[in-house]
Amino acid sequence: MSALPLDAYYDLTQIGEVAVSPPGDRVAFTATEYDQREDEAVASLFVVPTDGSREPHRLTSASGASAPQWGPEGDRLAFVAARDPDAERRVGWRDREKEQGDGDEAETADDEDGEAGGDDVADEDEGERASGDDEPKPQVWLFDLALGGDARQLTERDEGVGDFDWSPSGDRLVIESRDPTDEESEYLDQVREEGGPIETTRLQHKLNGVGWTDDVTPYLFVVDLDDPESDPRRLDDAYGGGAFQEIAGMDPHWGETDRIAFTSCRLDRPDDTTVRDAYAVSPAGGDAERLTRGDRSHGVPTRRPGADELATVAGDPSDPPAPSELYLVGGGGDAVTVSSLTADLDRTVARGGEPVWVDGAIYVPIADESHTRLVRVETDGTAERVFAAQGRDRALAGFDVAADGSTAVMILSEPTAGTDLYAVDVADLGDGANAADGAEPTVADPPAEPESFRRLTAVNESLIEEFSLPEATRVEWDSDGWTLDGVVYHDPEVDPADGDHPLVVAIHGGPMSYDEPVFSFAHAALTSRGYLVFRPNYRGGTSRGREFTAELTGAWGTAEVDDIAAGVASLAERGWVDPDRVFGHGFSYGGIAQGFLVTREPDLFAAAAPEHGIYDLRSAFGTDDTHTWLEAEYGLPWENPEAYDASTAILDAGEIETPLLVMAGGEDWRCPSSQSEQLYVAARKQGVDAELVVYPNEHHDIGDPDRAIHRLEKILDWYETHDPAVGAEN
């Protein structure tokens, strides 16, 4: 067994978004690749035929790409990218200026109107002032695949474009873009160019990945593609708002009824809630109509083709463990109806899941028994789990269907096969189409894949062929009256039953999440070095209903500690692992859980590596970006201090004996680095071996590939350094 070299990370490709063309003949997707020379991740845009007849065709290779969307005819493909300005578009600016006559007069007139004017240099300077650096802002670009050629730039917004959608006829776009007033622009210039000071009255004063927030309002604009010289028209009553507006976006969706749906929060204290409502507005402007009731966090409103109905995914901010459900919103004015279609499922819509309409029904992914799979939901609330041929050994990571209802494309992740695109006829998604001999198929014993099922990509083929990737085994154990499950990864040359293997306990974040078998570079890095990797699905996670999730709500450091410790004990009882060679691993809530485990189960780990966690709930409140979430679970710290203290690992720091590698992002505002500093200092104060690693400029993730590799190197070295078996050999 040879260890996976960590610099092979540069050969990794990760598929992101997927969009099937309206006639179902092609699919566009984004894939993140890693540039070793520039030390950066780049998301590129590809297109591949859905019949599997040829390899994917690369459309972009620089500046990133996101949000691919096909035009209604399927011959044009728009996307968002922060690329250098289109040279052809800039020629157009010069020509327009010449038509105006004297350049100086034109510049003066534009300045008086408060609009951008002048020559190319003036436009460049203004864009740089708005962005605070020389980097371009995200704009909408368009490939005409019938004519060929490079992408054409469609927008030129100083603050960039957040999201967009096509009009039903394909002659216009609706875009989401921030639109600062003159006073707000002056403030942005001061902060970005001159380095501050930060001035804010917003309750949600910062957000992870965004930084310090401001008062600039995002609006929807309509772009006329037939008149590229015209300015986008702002829809004045289609504006965004809310605590997480900068992350959530407005989700614009232009339906066939010629009304644009979007989301916003317009309650009295929008920064003090995660409620988001669905609205509708005419593309001609006028008042926006609120369609939902101000009590749910609605997202991704999607119009039913040919009808004035839309589907949304929404959760209840006042009830944190409640599953996110699929809602149907119909009618208008006083006749608007809002009803949950999946309440009886007691299963949450999977994170990132978006509803897709097909023949009057809705497909959406759900979290179901530690597994992501599709359900087909009728508008009367009838829900049917479909495509049992997926099985339980691979995860659904993305899904889209052609507008004509012919072809579905899935992103499936499988430990030994990678994460890739697969196509299947929509007619073959139903369980009945796949059942053999009249038996009801199940995901535990899945039916054969239908003949129409075909693989479209193999983006990590060379990596998979060259290196040993782990196999995955689902395991179960009992804890406090619950039968729990998890996944154990191991090198294919290793039989877990041989016994006495070192074990890495990799704890998922959330905690409202779950683990299922997936392709993972980090798993392979560990298993190829002899470790078993155990991913426990502890109480407090999702996929098993509200009661299961509620076990941990407002009670961090309780059920998950018992469940994880019981899971490790069960593997030791099987004879799979050496209980003296168990190591902690986990990010976000995976780091938080390790804080509780090393203080409340101090003999469990030989060493631990908590990453990007929170260890003092009181000091986290207001210094992270999740005050609304914490209040929903615990109340306010000055009103309910006992609850905060009960879920604060640092108050039990005197129990720490476990060597700790504590890691954080310097600009992580979900779990601020000061939290990791507290845990690190508490360990060092007591003479416990500990090291603190902070990655400057990183948010609640590790983006740069060099740092991703460094992170794995540090973790592996930490485990080896504190492995009693290695110490005994030396």
Strands 395-401 and 407-414: antiparallel
Note whether 234 and 218 are within 8 A (CB): no
In this prediction the pTM is 0.91
Low-confidence ranges of the chain (pLDDT < 50): 90-132, 432-441
Q: What pLDDT sits at residue 433?
A: 38
Handedness of CA 160, 166, 172, 176 (dihedral sign): negative
One-letter identity of residue 60: T
Tokens standing for residue 187: 């403030």
Handedness of CA 68, 246, 252, 361 (dihedral sign): positive
Q: What pLDDT sits at residue 638?
A: 97
**What would the pLDDT profile of 411-465 be if each residue is shown by its tens digit?**
999 999 999 999 999 999 985 433 333 344 456 678 899 999 999 999 999 999 9
Q: What pLDDT sits at residue 134?
A: 67
Strands 383-385 and 372-377: antiparallel
Q: How far is CA 440 from the centre of its chain?
A: 34
Which positions ≥6 away from 498 have C-beta within 8 Å? none
Q: What pLDDT sits at residue 673?
A: 97
**Ramachandran angles phi, psi of 246, nearest 5°:** -65, -20
**Ramachandran angles phi, psi of 190, nearest 5°:** -65, -45
Q: What pLDDT sits at residue 444?
A: 67
Q: What pLDDT sits at residue 1?
A: 59
Note whether 201 and 187 are within 8 A (CB): no
> What is the C-alpha end-to-end distance of the chain, expressed in Å?
22
Nearest to 300 by CA among 364, 358, 346, 361: 364
C-alpha pair distances (Å), 387 with each of 90, 127, 392, 588: 49, 48, 11, 32
Handedness of CA 666, 17, 76, 300 (dihedral sign): negative
Tokens standing for residue 658: 């476990």
Note whether 584 and 597 are within 8 A (CB): yes
In this structure, how many other beta carbons lie within 10 angstroms of the beta carbon of residue 152? 18
In this structure, how many other beta carbons lie within 10 angstroms of the beta carbon of residue 293? 13
Nearest to 532 by CA among 493, 563, 566, 561: 493
Note whether 372 and 518 are within 8 A (CB): no
Domain ranges of the chain: 85-132, 468-729
For the segment(s) 468-729, the CATH number from 3.40.50.2020, 3.40.50.1820, 2.40.50.140, 3.30.70.1060 is 3.40.50.1820
